[in-house]
Amino acid sequence: MQFSSKEDIEAPIEQVFAMLSEFESFERSAIRRGIEVIRTDNFTDPVAGYTWNSHFKMRGKMRELDLRLATYEHPNTMRFESDSNGLAGVMTLDLMALSPRRTRMSVSVELTPKTLAARLLVQSLKLAKSNMTKRFKLKVADYAKNMEERHSRLA
């Protein structure tokens, strides 16, 4: 199952990539939502190989998610791989400079079931795919708008 979205952002590619690389802010945001997040690597600068382990409650059950930054190519691409209870996921963030002050951000998420239970979950998600696709695109658009606002405040 795959979701994808593209948004144009009124900010230079370097600054968009820098905002997407603020992993500590994403960690804090997850913690505020009740997700336990632990970084499990020893790197100091963002590089491929960053890893996180998280625990959260979803649908009445405690879930565990292992996340790894698989690709980190400054300033164009980040690729995250996840594994959670038989459900593998890949999220790719691609940036392309449209002009010195405008960047196109492409976000894609692919979920692949590895167990029967995960297949059932993905099948139930497919039934609501159009609604979930709309929500995904709205969230990406909202995040892009927030990045534009941050850039305009700093400029």
Q: How many CB atoms lie within 10 A of CB 95?
A: 21
Domain boundaries, the chain: 2-154
Predicted TM-score of the model (pTM): 0.93
Burial (CB count within 10 angstroms: exposed 0-12, middle 13-18, buried 19+), residue 47: exposed
What CATH code would you report for 2-154?
3.30.530.20
Q: 43-92: per-residue pLDDT in tens?
A: 988 899 999 999 998 878 899 999 999 999 999 999 999 999 899 999 99
DSSP 125: H
Percent of the chain, pLDDT > 90? 89
